[in-house]
């Protein structure tokens, strides 16, 4: 079995050592970087399944590192954020982070979150019952290829954005609750006051653009969640 390669970018040597040891015991191959500049160079030059990126680092902070990674790559990025630092957390999601884990976190929690992201991104783990193609109006999705098109044009989506759009497409015409979206797309229960789903869906709406009548294809259904409408 091929080990998933994880890039861990954080300047806290003690924490990095502990997380690296635990992840390797769990079957991951771990590369570390002590600052953002080195982390970005490795992320863009290596073949990593996921990048774990700390928000506060010397030389290049986590947000700028994420910005540079996203300018050239859609590989999954999991942010490590200070607990309660909502402004930076939301900005990280808006810049394209797939999810976040508040610090201090346990190695078990981080490992579970990494697995949840990878479970939905690795085509080898795709469900056998998944159709080769999903079409809803102008939207076409190829789940096993992780590819999306809108009106015949390729749409560049992050891992989590694709997951969310796939869940909505499979339930097109019906509302899906935020908790179900979090469970199925992020692999975790929706936390209280968590705005991750809203931020990701806002990004998806922007990337897809409006329908001919000016509406978004993703509608908010009061007290029920979100719905991908059929044209």
pLDDT at residue 126 in the model: 46
pLDDT at residue 124 in the model: 40
pLDDT at residue 1 in the model: 53
pLDDT at residue 3 in the model: 84
pLDDT at residue 125 in the model: 44
* Residue 88 structure tokens: 């930076």
pLDDT at residue 131 in the model: 53
pLDDT at residue 132 in the model: 78
DSSP string, 82-126: ETT-HHHHHHHHHTT--EEEEES--HHHHHHHHHHHHHHH-GGG-
Beta-bridge partner residues of 9: 33, 53
Q: For the beta carbon of residue 131, count every other beta carbon within 10 angstroms.
A: 12
Q: In order of start, what are the domains of the chain with their CATH numbers?
A: 5-124 (3.40.50.2300), 127-228 (1.10.10.10)
What is the spatial distance between Cα 107 and Cα 136, in angstroms, rounded to a whole number?
Answer: 40
Q: Check if the beta carbon of residue 43 is closer than 8 Å to that of residue 7.
A: yes
Cα–Cα distance list, 133 to 50, 129, 136, 148, 221 (Å): 25, 12, 10, 10, 26
List per-residue pLDDT tens for the chain, 231 residues long: 568 999 999 999 999 999 999 999 999 999 999 999 999 999 999 789 999 999 998 889 999 999 999 999 999 999 999 866 788 889 999 999 999 999 888 999 999 999 999 988 775 444 544 457 999 999 999 988 889 999 999 999 999 999 999 999 999 999 999 999 999 999 899 888 889 999 999 999 999 999 989 999 999 999 999 999 987
């Amino acid at each position: 079995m091929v080990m998933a390669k994880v890039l861990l970018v954080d300047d806290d040597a003690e924490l990095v050592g502990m997380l690296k040891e635990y992840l390797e015991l769990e079957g991951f191959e771990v590369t570390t970087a002590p600052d953002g500049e080195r982390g970005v160079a490795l992320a863009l030059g290596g073949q990593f399944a996921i990048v774990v990126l700390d928000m506060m680092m010397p030389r290049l902070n986590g947000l700028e590192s994420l910005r540079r990674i996203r300018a050239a790559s859609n590989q999954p990025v999991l942010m490590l954020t200070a607990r309660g630092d909502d402004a930076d957390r939301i900005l990280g999601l808006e810049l394209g982070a797939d999810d976040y884990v508040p610090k201090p976190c346990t190695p078990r929690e981080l490992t579970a979150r990494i697995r949840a992201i990878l479970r939905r991104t690795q085509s080898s783990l795709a469900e056998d019952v998944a159709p080769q193609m999903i079409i809803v109006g102008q939207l076409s999705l190829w789940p096993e290829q992780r590819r999306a098109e809108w009106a015949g044009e390729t749409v560049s989506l992050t891992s989590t954005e694709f997951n969310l759009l796939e869940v909505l497409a499979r339930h097109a015409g019906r509302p899906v609750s935020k908790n179900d979206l979090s469970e199925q797309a992020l692999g975790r229960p929706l936390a209280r006051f968590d705005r991750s789903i809203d931020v990701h869906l806002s990004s998806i709406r922007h990337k897809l653009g409006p329908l001919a009548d000016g509406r978004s294809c993703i509608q908010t259904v009061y007290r029920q969640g979100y719905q991908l409408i059929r044209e």
